[in-house]
Chain A
Amino acid sequence: MSKSNSDFSVVGKRIPKLDAAQKAMGRAEYIQDIKLPGMLYGRILYSKYAHANIVKIDTSKAVALSGVHAVLTGEDVPEKMKMGFIKDNPPIKKGKVCSFRDEVAAVAAISPEIAKKALDLIEIEYEEQIGIFDPEKAMEKDSPLVHGHLKSNVLKMPWDIHYGDVEKAEKESAFVVEDRFTTQWVTHCCLGTSGAIALFDANDNLTIHTNTQIPSLAQKDFLESLKAMGLENKRVRVIKPIIGGGFGSKLDTYAYEHIAILLAHKCRKPVKIAFDRVEEFKATSTRQPTIIYIKQGCDKNGKLTFRDMRMVLDNGAHTSWGATTPSVMLMPISSLYRVENVKYVAKCVYTNNTYSQAMRGYGNPQATFAIESSMDMLAEKAGIDRIEIRRINRNQSGDETPQGLKITTCGLEECIDAVEKELKFDGKNEKGVGTGIASLIHVGGGARIYGSDGCGAILKMDDYGKVDVFTGGTDMGQGLDNIIAQIVAEELGLLAEDINVVHSDTDICPWDVGAHASRSTFVAGNAALGAAKKVKQKIQKFASKLFDVPAEKIEFKDKLVFVPGDQEKSMPLGKLLRKAHFSPGGTMLMAEYFYDPDNQNMGKELKGNMSMTYSFGAHGAKVKVDEETGKVEVLEYVAAHDVGRAINPLLLEGQVYGGVVMGLGYALTEEVTVKDGEIMNANFRDYKLFTAKDAVKIKAPIIETDDKDGPFGAKGIGEPGCVPTAPAIANAIYDAVGVRIKDLPITPEKVLVALKKKND
């Protein structure tokens, strides 16, 4: 029988974030706050053109400036030092630039001001080339090439998938809808901007303090950079300070980190590079913009028959994880609702625009915008209620989808019910007001993108009944520290505050693939739970001798180790630990555990159960559209999620609320406007984030399905909050005023144009 929350003493409790007080006192140290003795300040010079040859660089005046310690150009970067998973991006470009964001030089100086002055003294002669900024045009045969040495702008990527028989299913469908949707560039806007401090010891070992979500993979990237610099067999220690937001932005290493390494090595001093807001907008990555063609059909009863999707993704000038988002897009495309016949083709195309990265949802928000908008269109065409069509096709526990995803637990139906309970969907709203619904599926039990999806945990008991947990996982504000503390405390009968969670120092913490794919609660949680179970067994074994009872009789609760029903056989955990440490032939109680979920890499056929379990959700929005101005006001918002189990509802709500508001920005206001490759709104005034005044109160019903593989039944919930937001809003707008906006963000101008067209 599945457990209920009252069976737990720490799991399921609203325990405030363990580092919240420190942060509220202004005592948390972010990269901006760290100063090392003798530290220099690095700064990067970027290209003046979207596409150009570099004819000449003269750095002599910068080198001569007092206070400047080093100036680097592409010539100083070792040939093999390249970034990105296909290694197409050197940290400073040589001979040619392919985007405004391309780095052309860097300096280190004794102050940020001098570093800036030095950059102004660098003289560069460019020879401008024709740029290509439209990915569909870049795919044409005679398009100029972004990278001359390649034959085409289209990346070699495997996304051409066909499950079942789409052609046949289309012929047999009673209703078919078809359309084109587009999504924009948006960016993470972490309040804490990017930064790193690199320093070498006398033996050329590197320590780098850096904002990262992937300490272990970053370590690998930096080791490769050292190797390229001729520093073989050196050590790299990655230390992640407290970071001011992640959202996927820190899933790859960036040029500034590698440049800090080069400068630190050249100067033999610590070098810090910290971005200001303009640089953050211009030189960090965006969510992948997409052009989406979707066709789907159903039979006369509303049962989905097929889904056929084609996508063009603007890769920008270089390649980072943005180019692999189709692998995650495939999940909703093949598996949001039951649909047997699925086709999906995605092309990633080089342009002279900025390049994309991972961002919360990893492709899922784009795909779900098209799918869920199209679901409403199909419902209307088939004359079926929009909630009903979703119920008819809902995923269910025990399903295996065409992609091979195994749905172990599914609370989608309950999520839809929860949304319907909160909002009216009977079409009887006042004029200009409408409601919309959209659902989601997301990986909730890890995601095997690399060879490993694992995470390690080391657990060490001290002398006083407290625990240090060294996790590979990364806290970036989402609250992994709490989740791990609560899981370990539950298992060992302690309080969350008895658990000290140490994360993100590669010298101390075990390996982990990174804080992505909503995987940390599930994977890092299971790793910590595994280690706690191991240590518990050791303690039981020790106590069994002491109490002279079989080990399995011994229980843990309220900081006590005891045999139920026997008052004599009970001891505070701390005392027992001291006994273990102090007795002759003493023993130290610690344990390590590596959890690598039993999920699958997608093979050549692009099939496989990429996650151990899947999170589901349904969002409902009520909006009011002003037909005079086109302005959309969100009146109510409900976001119901199947989370397996809420380890900490307080923090979980925080993930949902934050995700939803990020999704509302995606739907309505946020866009990095790009003109011929140049970002035109690199500041918070022109890039419109939701403020407290724009944001609404959100209801977040939590559905618990107690997943058999999750730690205490939990699934991941970091990303889902922003996945179906845009289609929920678009569907509500259609319900309100009868216009369907297929191009994000849904600005007042677009609504007005559509209204005018409708009324003409």
Chain B
Amino acid sequence: MEKILITLNINDKPCEVMVYPNDTLLEVLRDELDLTGSKESCGEGVCGSCTIHMDDKPVRSCLTLAMEATGTKIKTVEGLAKGDELSSLQQSFVDHGAVQCGFCTPGMLMSADALLKINSKPDEKTVRKAIAGNICRCTGYTKIVKAVAHAGNSQDHCPDCITFSKAKE
């Protein structure tokens, strides 16, 4: 098998990379492009740690061939923040204590971000459904669900919607 040169559009930048036809997108992101934010936890499409966006839809990059991704718009967790400024969803994860070990976090964020794109004020049930394919062993999901629901819809009674920076004042 021979490597071929492809161009991927990742986080709004074109990237040229040599790949084997059977390389997964996850392998190429992590090993060739050093975008290690996307995680591998199962490698077979069950845990959701490797979730990225292809044309705004959540996709498991461990099940996607890099070749299939040419001509699409790919977004990884590295593309959520603007420089060092967290997206409101990321900030909500931080403020609500939705991050513990953090291994599931990139995939969770990408699944949640895709949901918020089509439904900016999801209720709890909708959030739970949208992230049902993302396993987290640390948090029991409660805070993740809250973080997603409150990201587009912060709540007065929620002690964690008062962000860290406000709490400092």
Interface residues of A (CB under 8 A from B): 13-17, 19-21, 23-30, 32-33, 188-193, 242-247, 276-277, 476-479, 495, 650-651, 653-654, 656-662, 683-685, 689-693, 695, 697-698
**What are 6 A-B interface contacts by the 8 Å CB criterion?**
A25-B80, A26-B77, A244-B101, A246-B101, A477-B101, A690-B141
**By the criterion CB–CB under 8 Å, are B132 and A692 in contact?**
yes
Most chain A CB atoms below 10 A, which of B41, B86, B105: B41
Give chain B's interface residue range (CB within 8 Å of chain A). 35 or more
Considering only CB atoms, which chain A residue lies closest to B163 in the complex?
A16
Complex contact A693–B105 (CB within 8 A): no
| A25 touching B99 in the complex, CB below 8 Å, given contacts A277-B41, A650-B160, A684-B42 | no
Known: A15-B164, A32-B40. A657 touches B143 (CB 8 A): yes
The minimal Cβ–Cβ distance linking A60 to chain B, given in whole angstroms, is: 27
In contact, B138 and A27 (Cβ under 8 angstroms): no
Cα-based distance from A189 to B104 in the complex (angstroms)? 12
Q: Please tell me which stretch of B53-61, B64-72, B123-131 contacts chain A, meaning at least 4 of its Cβ atoms lie within 8 angstroms of it.
A: B123-131
Listed residue (B97, B132, B135, B168) with the most chain A CB atoms within 10 angstroms of its CB: B97
| Residues in chain B near residue A243, CB distance under 8 A | 101
Does the CB pair A24–B134 fall under 8 Å? no
Residues of B within 8 A of A (CB): 30, 35-44, 46-47, 49, 76-78, 80-81, 86, 90, 93-97, 99-106, 109, 124, 127-129, 131-145, 159-160, 164, 167-168
Q: Which of B41, B44, B143 contacts A654 (CB 8 A)?
A: B143
Given A277-B43, A683-B42, A683-B44, 5 extra CB contacts under 8 A? A24-B77, A477-B102, A650-B96, A684-B47, A685-B44
Q: A24-B94, A25-B78 are in contact. Are A695 and B39 (CB under 8 A)?
A: no
Partner of A14, one of B80, B99, B124, B159: B159
Q: Is the CB of A27 within 8 A of B37?
A: yes
Instruction: Decide yes or no: A16 and B132 within 8 Å by CB, A26-B37, A191-B47 being known contacts.
Output: no
B143 and A191 contact, CB distance less than 8 A: no
Given A16-B94, A24-B94, are A654 and B37 also a contact pair (CB < 8 Å)?
no
Known: A191-B39, A657-B140, A689-B135. A26 touches B101 (CB 8 A): no
A32-B131 contact, Cβ under 8 Å, with A244-B102, A689-B137: no
Q: How far is the CA of A697 from the CA of B99 in the complex (A)?
A: 17
| Interchain CA distance A16-B102 in the complex, whole Å | 13
Query: Is there contact, CB below 8 Å, between A26 and B142?
Result: no
B contact patch SS: loop
Q: Give which listed residue, B49, B76, B100, B140, contacts A17 with CB less than 8 A.
A: B100
CB pair B37–A25 under 8 Å, yes or no, is yes
> Contact between B128 and A693 (Cβ–Cβ < 8 Å)?
yes
* Bound: A472/B82 CA distance, A: 35
Expressed in whole angstroms, the minimum distance between the Cβ of B51 and any Cβ of chain A is 12
> How far in angstroms is the closest Cβ of chain B from A474?
12
Minimum distance in angstroms from B96 CB to a CB of chain A: 8
Q: Are the C-beta atoms of A245 and B97 separated by less than 8 Å?
A: no
Q: Which of A246, A277, A658 has the most CB of B within 10 A?
A: A658
Residues from chain A with a CB closer than 8 A to the CB of B37 are 25-27
**Shortest distance from the beta carbon of B131 to any chain A beta carbon, whole Å:** 5
A592 to B36, CA, bound (A): 37
The 7 closest A-B pairs by CB, nearest first: A26-B37, A477-B101, A23-B102, A244-B103, A657-B140, A661-B140, A26-B77
* B159 partner residues in chain A, CB cutoff 8 A: 14
- Determine how close the nearest CB of chain A comes to the CB of B145; give it in whole angstroms: 6
Task: Output the nearest chain A residue to B89 by Cβ-Cβ distance.
Answer: A24
CB-contact partner of A191 in B78, B129, B135, under 8 A:
B135
Which of B97, B137, B168 is within 8 Å of A653, CB to CB? B97
Q: Which residues of A contact B142 (CB under 8 A)?
A: 653, 657, 695, 697-698
B41 closest partner in A (C-beta): A191
Chain B residue at minimum C-beta to C-beta distance from A15: B164
Are A33 and B128 in touch, CB under 8 angstroms? Answer: no
Cα A312 to Cα B82 in complex, Å, equals: 57
Name the residue among A28, A656, A660 with the largest chain B CB count within 10 angstroms: A28
Q: Are B104 and A191 in contact (CB under 8 A)?
A: yes
B114 CB → nearest A CB, Å: 15
Complex contact B128–A26 (CB within 8 A):
no
- When distances are taken between beta carbons in the complex, the residues of chain A under 8 Å from B39 are 30, 32, 191-192, 244
Give the docked Cα–Cα distance between A242 and B78 (Å).
Answer: 18
Task: Kindly list chain A residues whose C-beta atoms are within 8 Å of the C-beta of B103.
Answer: 30, 190-192, 244-245
Q: How far is the CB of B123 from chain A (nearest CB, A)?
A: 12
User: Do A16 and B145 have beta carbons less than 8 Å apart?
Assistant: no
Contact of B97 among A654, A691, A693 (CB under 8 A): A654
Q: Which residues of A contact B40 (CB under 8 A)?
A: 32
Return B106 CB to nearest CB of chain A, in Å: 5
**Cβ distance B23 to chain A, nearest Cβ, rounded Å:** 11
A19, closest chain B residue (CB): B102
Measured CA separation A653–B160 after assembly (Å): 12
**Cβ of A33 and Cβ of B36 under 8 Å apart?**
yes
CB–CB A192/B101 < 8 A = yes
**Distance between Cα atoms of A17 and B101 in the complex (Å):** 10
Chain A's nearest CB lies how many Å from the CB of B35?
Answer: 8
Look across to chain B and name the residue whose beta carbon is closest to the beta carbon of A112.
Answer: B31
Contact A277 B42, beta carbon cutoff 8 Å: yes
Q: Which of B95, B131, B142 has the most CB of A within 10 A?
A: B142
Contact B128 A16 (CB under 8 A): no
Selected from B77, B78, B90, the residue in CB contact (under 8 A) with A21 is B90
Q: In the bound complex, what is the Cα–Cα distance between A541 and B15 (angstroms)? A: 60
Q: In the assembly, what is the distance between CA of A391 and CA of B37, in Å?
A: 50
Q: When the two chains form the complex, which single residue of A190, A276, A650 contacts B101, counting CB atoms closer than 8 Å?
A: A190
Indicate which residue in B46, B77, B139 contacts A658 across the interface (CB closer than 8 Å).
B139
Contact of B129 among A654, A683, A690, A693 (CB under 8 A): A693
Residues of chain B within 8 A of A193, CB atoms compared: 41
CA distance A654 to B96 in the complex (A): 10
* Known contacts A25-B37, A692-B131, A191 near B164 by CB under 8 Å: no
A689 to B49, alpha carbons, bound, how many Å? 15
When the two chains form their complex, are residues A26 and B78 in contact, meaning their CB atoms are under 8 A apart? yes
Known contacts A24-B93, A28-B102; A14 and B160 CB within 8 A of each other = yes
In the complex, the answer to whether B49 meets A191 with C-beta atoms within 8 Å is yes
Check B102 against A658 for contact (C-beta < 8 Å): no
Partner among B46, B106, B137, B143 whose Cβ is within 8 Å of the Cβ of A190: B137
Most buried by B among A29, A189, A192, A276: A192
- With a cutoff of 8 Å between Cβ atoms, the chain A residues found around residue B145 in the complex are 692, 697
B128 touches A692 (CB 8 A): yes
Q: Is the CB of B97 within 8 A of A651?
A: yes
Q: Is the CB of B140 within 8 A of A659?
A: yes
Contact A242 to B102, CB < 8 A, known contacts A16-B97, A191-B39: yes
> Are A660 and B140 also in contact (CB < 8 A) when A25-B37, A29-B36, A692-B145 are?
yes
Residues in A neighbouring B97, C-beta threshold 8 A: 14, 16-17, 20, 650-651, 653-654
Closest chain B residue to A22, Cβ basis: B102
Residues of B within 8 Å of A192, CB to CB, are 39, 41, 101, 103
Contact of A26 with B38 at beta-carbon distance under 8 Å, contacts A243-B101, A277-B43, A657-B140 already known: yes
Q: Determine how close the nearest CB of chain A comes to the CB of B12; give it in whole angstroms.
A: 16
- Give every chain A residue within 8 A of B128 (Cβ-Cβ): 692-693, 695
Q: Which residues of B contact A660 (CB under 8 A)?
A: 140
> How long is the Cα–Cα vector from A659 to B30 in the complex, in angstroms?
31
CA distance A690 to B141 in the complex (A): 9
- Cβ contact of B135, chosen from A19, A657, A691, cutoff 8 A: A691
Q: Verify B134–A692 contact, CB threshold 8 A.
A: yes
B86 touches A21 (CB 8 A): yes
Q: Which residues of A contact B49 (CB under 8 A)?
A: 191
Question: In the complex, what distance in Å separates the CA atom of A191 from the CA atom of B99?
Answer: 13
CB-based contact A692/B127 at 8 Å: yes
